[in-house]
Amino acid sequence: MKTLSMTPGFSFERFKQVSYRSLVINKKRYALGIGGTLIGLYAFWLLMGVFSSQQTLRENSTAILAFGTVIYQIGGYVLTASIFSELQSPGSASQFLTLPATTSEKLFSGWVISYVLYTIVAFLGLSLLLLVMTLTANLFFSAEVQSISELTKIYLNNVVLVYLVFNSVFLLGATYFKGNNFLKTAFSILLFFAVAGFLVIFITFLVGPDNITFIIRPPMFLQNSEYAQLLFQIIYTLPLTALFLVFSYYRLKNRQVA
C-alpha cells in the first residue's frame, strides 16, 4: 500500500487504500462464501427440479431466490460483525489502529464493503443464478421460470432497507464488542426486542388495548402506491441507520490511535 500523508479531513485516496487492503486480506473468504452459496443454491434447485413437475418449477425458482435473500442478510451480518476483526487480536489491533487513515475513512470503508459492495455482488450473483436456472429449465426441463422483473420484489426494496438498518447495528457491534461480535450483537438485538415487547405488553395492560396502538404504517393516501410506501420506509430507515453509524464512529474513534 503506497504511503499517503495524514492531511486533515476526509481523503478519498486514503479511503481507497484502506478499502483495497481490507478486500485483499479477505478476498479468499469472500469469494468462497459467495461462490459456495450460489453453487449450493443451484445444486439444491436442481435436486428440487428432478422431483418436481413443470408447474412447480416456477415456484421452486422463487423459493430458491427468496432463500438466497435470507442468506444474503445473514451472511452480510456475519461479514459486517467481522469487518474490524483486526481490532480483536492484540497482534493486529495496533496495525489497524495506526493505519494512515482517519476514523471516518476506516468506518466509511467498512460500511461501503459490508453494505454497498456486498449488496451489489450478492444481487449480481442472484441475478446470474436466475439466468443459469432459466437456461437449465429451458434446455433440460422444457419449462420457464420467473423473469428478473417479476422477482425484483423478492430481493429488493424491503430486503435492502432492512439490511441497511441492521448492517449499521452490526457495524456498531463490530466496533463495540471484543470477540464473538456477531453472537454478542445478535443477542443484544434479541434482548432489545424482548425488553421492548415486554414494555409494549405492560403498557397495553395498564392503558388497555383499545386506547393505544403501536402499528407504524404509511398514511392512507400512500398505501395504494408501492413507490410511496417505499419512500415512507426510506424516511424512517435512513435516520436509524445514520444514528447507528454515528455511534459506530465515536466508538471507533475512542479506540483510535492515529
Stretches in the chain below the pLDDT threshold 70: 1-8, 52-55, 89-98, 141-157, 208-229, 256-258
Q: Which three cell numbers stand for residue 76?
A: 452480510
User: For residues 93 and 2, is the Cβ–Cβ distance under 8 A?
Assistant: no
> Directed axis angle between helix 158-176 and helix 148-155, to 10°?
40
Report the alpha-carbon angle 150-153-158, nearest 5: 175
pLDDT at 115: 95
- Tell me what pLDDT residue 166 has: 94
Element at 78 (helix H, strand E) = helix 54-81
CA atoms within 13 A on the CB side of 191: 6
Per residue in 15-66, pLDDT (tens digit) is 888 888 889 988 899 999 999 999 999 999 888 877 766 667 777 777 888 8
The rounded distance, in Å, linking the Cα atoms of 162 and 159 is 5
Q: What is the pLDDT of residue 148?
A: 59
Q: How far apart are the first and last CA of the chain?
A: 17
Grid cell, residue 26, equals: 479477505
Rounded to whole angstroms, how far apart are CA atoms 26 and 114?
Answer: 12
d(CA 140, CA 134): 10
